[in-house]
Chains A and B, each alone.
Chain A
C-alpha cells in the first residue's frame, strides 16, 4: 500500500516531534490528504477555537498517490481552521514538497501549540528536529528559501515557508513551497506564522514502496498518462497556454468579474491574456512567457514561468526581479487585472511575483484592492486614509505599491491585509465586499454562470472555484455542455462536482487531471496502490462523506444557513453586458433543491439519516 502509515506530531509548545501510526480505519473512510486530515482536525480541535490561538492545529497532509509514479502525484494540502473565514480551511499545493514528505516516510505532519520563539522543522527521513529560526523571522519567502538551502548545503531539500505578510498578520497569507507554488487560500500561512513556525525543510530518500499491486499500478498509471497525453486539453491546451487560455473565453461569455464585480466584461482582457503572454514585447523582443513547467510527476505541465519587461517601471533599480519566476495563472491575472481595471501585463506579473515572494494569496489580495478602489471611488476612503496612495481603478502604480505594502505590512497595507470583508466593514460599506463566508471571489461571475453561484454559496471554505468547478461543464463543455444561464439541473451538477472533487483532493492527484479523467480512470490507480477496494462509486461516496464532515465542522464552528449566500450585488444588480445582460444569480431557485439532494434539513443541517448513511 502506498500510505506510509505514519504521522509526525510536532508540539510547538513543548518543542517535541513524535511519530505515531496513521489511523487506518479513518484512511479507509476518508482516503487521505483533504479528507483524512479534516477528520483528524475535526476530532482534535474545538471548531469554535480562535483560528490564531495555540488551540488551532495545522496539518500538512499527502494522499495515497503523492510521491508515486501516478501522473500529477505530487500534491499535498494544508488543513486548519481559517482566520479569514472561521470555517474549515483546506489549501492544496503542487511543486515538490508533498512528494518529498511522503518519500521521507510520512503521510502527514500535525503541528499543534505555539512556539515561544520562531522555529523551523527539519525533517530528513526518520530524523525530525525543531531548529531556531530567529535569523529567518522577518525575511521573505525567497530570502528564507535561499538561506535554508545555504545552511543545509543541499540543493535537493524542499522548503515550504511563510513570508513577511504572514508574520504581520495578513489574513490571507499563504504557505509557499518551492519558491512559487502555494497553499494559497484562506490564510493557512497566517495560522502557521501565529505558531511561530517559519518553515518546513524536508529531504526524503526512503521512497514510496509497498504499492498493493505493483503490476496493476503500473498498468493503471500508464493508461492514465496516455489518456492525459491524448486529450486536447491536458495534452495540448494546458501545456501551451496554461490556465490563462481562459482570459478571453470568460470575457467573451460575459463572466469576467471587473472592477470589484461591478461589470462582467473587461475591455483590456486581451492585453493580460495567455495569448498576450506569448507575444514578443517591444523593449527586448522577448515574450512574458519563458516556458511552461511541471510539478512533481506531472505529465500536463500547465505552470507558467515568466519575466517582467526589464524596462518596466516596477522593477527599475530592482535587479532581483529581472530573472524568470512563477508567472500569471488565470486566477492571479484576473484578480490583479480585470477586477482592478488594470491591463498592464508587467505590473500584474510584478505583483504576482510579490505574492510569491512574501506569501499572500493573489486572489484575495486583488479582490481586496478592488474593494478599496471602490471605497476610494465612493469617497469612503481618501488620500488621507491611504497615506497618499491614489487607489483609482485602472492604476497600475496603485496595484504595485499596494502589493509592496501588503508584503511588508506598512501603511495602508495593514488595512489591505485584513481582506475585503473586514476592510469594507471598517469603512462602513459591507455591501461592497465581494465575499462568501469572508473569502474573496475567484474569476467567474455567477450572474453569467448560474451553477457557480450555488457552488460559491455552499463552498465549505468560502468563495472558491476549486470546490466544484462547474465552469468546466457550463462553459467549456467538459465532460458535457450545460447552459450557463439556466438553473435547471445545477443543484445536481454542483453536488456531483463537489463530491468528486473532494475525493480527487484526497488522493494526492491534481484536480486538472479531471479535464481528461473521470473517477473511472482514477479509481484503478488508487485501488492498485492501496487496500480498501476502491472503485469510482466508493470514491464518490468518500467525497460525499468528506463534504458532510467539512459541513458539520462549519456548523459546529457557528456558521449557519445564512452564510450560504452571495453578496447582494450578484443577487440584485443585473449584468450590464454580454450573454447574461439583465440577469442576476438565481440562487434562491437552486439552494432548497441542493439541500434536499444533500440530505440536509431546510436549515442546511445534515440529517441523522444522512450522517448515518455516510458513517459519520
Chain B
C-alpha cells in the first residue's frame, strides 16, 4: 500500500461546487494515496478536467502536460480555478 498523505485542496469560482460540503473558505484537507497524480486527485474529487485551467501547487503553476505525471507531497496545497481574469 502506498503511503497516505494529507494535502490542502482548494477550489474557487465556479469549481467551488465540487468541494465537499465540510469545506471552509473554499478549502479542505484531504487524505490521498501518495502515488496519486494531480489529474488523479481532480478525478477523485469529480472536478471536470476541461474546467481545471489554472492549477497551482504551493502557488506554482503546473502546466497541463505535467498534471498526469506530477505527484504531491504531504502538506502540499493544490488550488484550482476555471479560466479567470480581471484587472
Decide if A and B are genuine partners: yes
Binding site for B on A (CB under 8 A): 231-233, 236-238, 240-246, 248-249, 252-254, 270-271, 274-275, 302, 329-331, 465-466, 469, 471-472, 475-478, 481, 483-484, 511-512, 515, 578-579
Which residues of chain A have C-beta atoms less than 8 A from B60's C-beta?
A: 579
- Report A40 CB to chain B, min CB distance, Å: 27
Q: Mark B42-85, 1 if CB is under 8 A from A, else 0.
A: 00000000010110101111010000000000000101011111
B2 at the interface (CB under 8 A from A): no
Q: A252-B56, A275-B26, A477-B54 are in contact. Are A233 and B63 (CB under 8 A)?
A: no
B25 at the interface (CB under 8 A from A): yes
Q: A232-B82, A275-B12 are in contact. Are A330 and B87 (CB under 8 A)?
A: yes
Most chain B beta-carbon neighbours within 10 Å: one of A238, A248, A254, A472: A248
Q: Closest A-chain residue to B83, C-beta based?
A: A232
Q: How far is the CA of A472 from the CA of B84 in the complex (A)?
A: 9
Is there an interface contact between A248 and B26, defined as CB atoms closer than 8 Å?
A: yes
Contact sample, A vs B, 7 pairs, CB 8 Å cutoff: A237-B85, A242-B86, A248-B79, A252-B56, A252-B59, A275-B25, A476-B54
Is there an interface contact between A237 and B59, defined as CB atoms closer than 8 Å?
A: no
Which residues of chain A have C-beta atoms less than 8 A from B10's C-beta?
A: 248, 252
Is there an interface contact between B61 and A481, defined as CB atoms closer than 8 Å?
A: yes
Q: How far is the CA of A242 from the CA of B84 in the complex (A)?
A: 9
Q: How far is the CA of A271 from the CA of B85 in the complex (A)?
A: 20
- Report B54 CB to chain A, min CB distance, Å: 7
Binding site for A on B (CB under 8 A): 10, 12-14, 16, 25-26, 51, 53-54, 56, 58-61, 63, 77, 79, 81-87
Which residues of chain B have C-beta atoms less than 8 A from A330's C-beta?
A: 86-87
Which residues of chain B have C-beta atoms less than 8 A from A476's C-beta?
A: 54, 83-85
Is there an interface contact between A237 and B14, defined as CB atoms closer than 8 Å?
A: yes
Is there an interface contact between A241 and B83, defined as CB atoms closer than 8 Å?
A: no
Which residues of chain B have C-beta atoms less than 8 A from A237's C-beta?
A: 13-14, 82-85
Q: Closest A-chain residue to B12, C-beta based?
A: A248
Which residues of chain B have C-beta atoms less than 8 A from A254's C-beta?
A: 59
Q: How far is the CA of A387 from the CA of B83 in the complex (A)?
A: 47
Is there an interface contact between A232 and B13, defined as CB atoms closer than 8 Å?
A: no
- Report B79 CB to chain A, min CB distance, Å: 5
Which residues of chain B have C-beta atoms less than 8 A from A232's C-beta?
A: 51, 53, 82-83
Q: Closest A-chain residue to B58, C-beta based?
A: A579
- Report B50 CB to chain A, min CB distance, Å: 10
- Report A380 CB to chain B, min CB distance, Å: 33
Q: How far is the CA of A471 from the CA of B54 in the complex (A)?
A: 13
Q: Assuming A232-B51, A232-B82, A471-B87, what are 4 further A-B pairs, CB within 8 angstroms? A: A245-B81, A252-B79, A329-B86, A579-B58
Q: Closest B-chain residue to A279, C-beta based?
A: B25
Is there an interface contact between A477 and B53, defined as CB atoms closer than 8 Å?
A: yes
Which residues of chain A have C-beta atoms less than 8 A from B82's C-beta?
A: 232, 236-237
